[in-house]
Every structure is written in C-alpha cells, then in structure tokens.
Amino acid sequence: MPRLQLLFFPEGIALINQNIGCKRQGTTIPHVHSTLPVFIYDINDMQP
C-alpha cells in the first residue's frame, strides 16, 4: 500500500517545484529531494 511521504528541505533551499530544490554551496550546486542530493554540478559547468 502506498504511504504518504512528507518532504523536509534544509533551511535556505530554493524550491524548483514541490519535490526538488537547490542551494549553492561554494562552487557546487546540489539539487535535493527532501534532504537527499540527487544531482550535483559545479558552477563553472554552466553555459552562458
């Protein structure tokens, strides 16, 4: 049976949508689901 999962985001996270947020940490930007990082990239990897 499916269970309701409550999402808890750390302080300072900018929400992209109701499930994923991001926050710059030095030169990296992790995208997080609740408190778990799902994707991390370096700020220098962004295209202008």
Q: What is the radius of gyration, based on Cα positions, of the chain?
A: 13
Residue 2 pLDDT > 90, yes or no? no
Domain ranges of the chain: 14-42
- Given a contact cutoff of 8 angstroms between Cβ atoms, the answer to whether 41 and 32 are in contact is no
The predicted model scores a pTM of 0.69
Using DSSP's 3-state secondary structure scheme, residue 45 falls into helix
Please report the pLDDT score of residue 39 as a whole number. Answer: 92
pLDDT in tens, 7-44: 788 888 899 988 899 999 899 999 998 888 899 999 88
Please report the pLDDT score of residue 5 as a whole number. Answer: 73
